[in-house]
Structure 1
Amino acid sequence: MEKNIVSAMLFLIIPLLMRPVLASGDPVYTFCNPESRNYALSSPFENNLNLLLESLPSNTSVKGFYNNSTGEDPDEVYGQALCRGDVNSTVCRDCIKNASQEILKQCKTEDATIWFKLCQVRYSGQNFSSFMVYFGMYPDQNNLEKNLSINPVRFDKVLTYLIDNISSEAAFDPSKRMFATGEIKFSREKTIYGLVQCTWDISESSCYSCLVQALGDLHACCDSRQGGIIVTANCNVRFQLYQFYNASSVFLTYPSSKGPKLKIWMVVVIACIPISIIAVLVGSCAVYHGRNKRTQRGDGVAITQNGELVSAEELSFMDLLTIVAATDNFSESNKLGKGGFGTVYKGVLPDGKEVAVKRLSRKSWQGLEELKNEVILIAKLQHRNLVKLLGCGIEGEEKLLIYEFMPNRSLDFFIFDSKKRTELDWKTCYNVIVGIARGLLYLHEDSRLKIIHRDLKPNNVLLDHEMVAKISDFGMARIFGENQYSANTQRVVGTYGYMAPEYAMEGLFSVKSDVFSFGVILLEIISGKKNSGFYLTEHAQTLLAYAWRLWNEGKELEFVDPLLMESCQTTEVLKCMHIGLLCVQEDPADRPTISSVLTLLGNESTSLPHPKQPLFVVARVIQTNHIPTTNPSVNHLTISGLSPR
């Protein structure tokens, strides 16, 4: 008891003792730009500089960031100050004041930047936006001893995973205000703590690009060390093996490696229909419902997955009466949409939580397989850009999946509706594009299982209340082995217009087939036009053909929706069109990986390769569940047709 009290007191006291120490101290790094000239003492430039620096502490302490200029050309001085996102206004003001005084002592050049642990100050005789060039600085404190007891390869991977995730949060989540912290277990004894931050005067993509480049510098200087920091004019990255910040942080778990048993199970899933798993799932739900009618959430049962359980703490098994009441008996007024395997309804649980309920086809074999797929594949997957599966329910012929509710419905509801599209500006569209890419990156590379979605399209991209994109509908997704890169199927299912040609015509699918679908969506967002059915227009046989023709004729701007032109940067939207054409190239080997796509989106200076012509002959595949089942023999047919070049 006494030990707990002492621990609690130390927990409260230590942060208070740390703050004054952190707020003072020497600069982390000072950069007096050697390529700029020295200003003369008592000159108009120096007078303007003094006035500017005097204004920074009080103004920066209000919001944590401030930039302004003083004087007139040719003696105008531009200034900028940033405080770390976890400090209060008093600490911020004191740090900026100290930094402003110190930079005058250390630098006499017309361009300089100084970094402290809790803030940074920058000034220049030129407008910062006119020369935004990345440069990373290696402070002396990076010369920490290497930790010889750790596996350097694994340390590098875990550190990269941590910094990449919090960089995405800082850059693309508006609520983070370009600052994020996180922690991840490297081993039982060691935790890596990370912090990233950008200045507020740059775009989300520029922030992410800066952090990605800073991470590269961090690896160069500090791999396997006790800690490291990279400071730049527009972003900072730091990690330590102890908590050095005062903010609440994101807890991350590095995806575990897949052992031999899991690999064997993957092969079985891909090769055949896992009837035994379906039986376990149905049996578990039935047992749970029979033994635990008094509660919606049990204490133990679930789905066996090679010895692993999807516990009731991770996935709720709900009884039918609760779901019927939540959806008002699946009323038409609560109907959100209909897909190939069932209908989706809005529901409100007894605790007031809004959910989306997918009611799978009552007697279809595909519906039961989709239920198995959804539960096994995504019950344990957690990512900001994936729709979260909350629970399931099976009673008799009813097969139900319960998801988090997305108030803004799906992406197609916005981009293909003339009225709703007016609500989208380029910034929102760009964030949606990056969100889809980040969700795919998690599925393809960062999750514990390599997952191919196989049916990525706008109505499977849902939007939350902040218009954050979340990939949904994993009923046709497939798991790949750790070293597996492609697979073949005789049962081609998907949606015409979004299937890669090698999948539509040969049944061959891979991560690159998902990249193709992403490219189609990207071009649809930019143009406001739908790929499937585009042959009915006067422009071209397909949206891809239309984009390709305009690209080669130098008329790319004609492809962009006029509504987006009002709010976009021309170079950025044309870069996205270029990336879209790279993603829909005929040969899968020519298409970039989704990680490369994110790098291209975030790096403004990278030159893009010239895309090759897309394939305009595409097999049209009709899903068997859309065919009337008056003749039982058609249940496993795949009907294909060709649209002309």
Structure 2
Amino acid sequence: MAAHSLLIFSLVIYATAFSINLSHADPRTDYVMRMCGKVHVQNVSNYFKYYSNITDYMQDEIYRNKFAFKDVGEPPDRLYVLAQCMDDLTNEECAMCFTQISTLIPSCFPSTGGRVYFDGCFIRAENYSFYREVLGPEDTKRCSGIVNKRQEFSVAVDEVLSQMLLKAPSFRGFASMHETSNGISAYGMASCWKILDRDLCSNCLSEAVASALSCIPSTEARVLNAGCFLRYSDTSFANDSNGGDYSEEEVFSYVTYIMGVGLICVFAIGIGVCVGKLSYRRKIRLKQSKETEDLVLEERVQYMQFKYATLDTATQSFSDSNRLGRGGFGEVFKGTLPDGREIAIKRLYISRKFRVQEIRYEMDIIGRAQHKNLAWKHFQSSTVQEIIDKSMAIEDAEEIQRVVQIGLLCTQESPNLRPTMTEVVQMLRKEGVELPSPSKPPFTDELMELNYLGSFDRHHPSGLST
């Protein structure tokens, strides 16, 4: 009976395994480029709310279709958003890519929008309908600094680009190709936004191919157009979506492997029963501990609850004169209660990431903790050494200060001021190179906001509200 069950179990695993692609998939969340608009919206608070509503809707659409677009609001601040993944990504990988790339567009606000390109997905936001655009003044290309001057490589790249231009418009706007010339290989991928028809896709890719050809003999190039994305490389980067082509040796090796796994699984069932019992008991204990922790937290934040009407009156309807600061997810206002107490109110932009319990945790942490080692405050006051752990034996404090300064250069508010990775490497290697003075990082407003809230809560224990 046990042998019969083992045989069935092994065959099921065998059949299941061969129905799945064995290659390691990759959501390709490597950052390529971000472009922000130069015109500002009239009401940035509404813009954040529109974007939150749109991305909430698009999350499910992207998972189902690997493509989504939506617009919300009233002109001139109506917001239009489009996002798409490359077709070689699975639905799960596409959702992962979208989750990361969608957090970068808000950094363009209060501009009317912008574009962000990853190797696996794309997103664009504007205050006008751009859905049928194929080319724009911000279109650009990225050519690798590494070159291959062999004629065979140029021939392979040219063939890949030509084949993709022919194939993609007729195959849902997507093509992934591989060509070899005398042993030299070239790989390519082209993707049009699915909202474009065949002719518009062909027009966009024609321009993209011309731009990519001008990058040769670079071993890699990316073309970033308003309506399409194109890439070629001397190494394979696409996910294998075909699968199923295995040699006899691979089949035999894999069957042997699966049978071994089956034997181990049968042996592990007995151990699993025992471990399961222990895990269940531990889960019960953790659940009881969590319930106790939530009860304590509930008691802590009871004093922080106010009616909205009270907060609206205390802040004079959240007037600009009472605004203390603004961070990535909300604004902080000063308010005065009828009994004269001063309070700080944080009004959140994006609701889906801040459920009630998470808000309470944030308030509890802010009220109890304040980190002393801030990378910008200490740099400004020439006290960088204070961020070094006292237990560490640091011989070269100047080197630490240099690394901190390079880090601040990489996190300046304006992307145009940030050094490239090549420049960063040169800064780290060449100690004699004089470093420029960094400007304020964009996260300092959020840090100042959190510090203010933490300080206010310690001095006014009944005044922190959300």
TM-score after normalising by structure 2: 0.44
Greater helix fraction, Structure 1 or Structure 2: 2
TM-score after normalising by structure 1: 0.33
* Greater relative CO (CA pairs within 8 A, separation 6+): 2
